[in-house]
Amino acid sequence: MTLRKLLLSVIVGATFVACGSSDSAAKETNTKPEMTQVKEGEPIVYTLNSTISPDKQLPTVIDFSATWCGPCRRFAPIFEETAKEYKGKAIFMSVDVDNSPETARQFEVSAIPQVSILMPDGTITSTVGFMDKDQFVDFISKAVK
């Protein structure tokens, strides 16, 4: 019985520590979203929790994914290749739903991979599930000219 209480205390204590450090980290983060682009023409990787606002001129194509998601990993090179082909016609960004839950909530992500297109007027079109290159190009070509 003593071992059970000790184990329960450790679990409860670890939960409070994790929640506490999470809250303090959230307070210290910038309110301005941080975006990184590894190489010119590659999709922007969205790294902080924030809302995404529409660009005034170009549609924004957003890939919602996670590192542990097999279909997401299979879709990533298709997304990157298409982003290079459509450079200047749209903004492409990838959002890791585990690192950016607020952003995922903004786009009502309930399953991944999800691709959402945010139009300059604020309308959003989304699709869920793995797409091959032809399916992806067909999906975005309706919004990206």
Verify whether residue 69 is a known catalytic residue: yes
Q: Which one of 62, 72, 118, 144 is the catalytic residue?
A: 72
Dihedral of CA 86/90/94/97: which sign?
negative
Burial of 76 (0-12, 13-18, 19+ CB in 10 A): middle
The DSSP bridge partners found for residue 70 are none
Q: Do residues 44 and 37 touch, judged by C-beta distance below 8 A? A: yes
- Distance separating alpha carbons of residues 107 and 117, to the nearest angstrom: 10
Q: Which one of 52, 62, 69, 131 is the catalytic residue?
A: 69
Active centre residues (catalytic): 69, 72
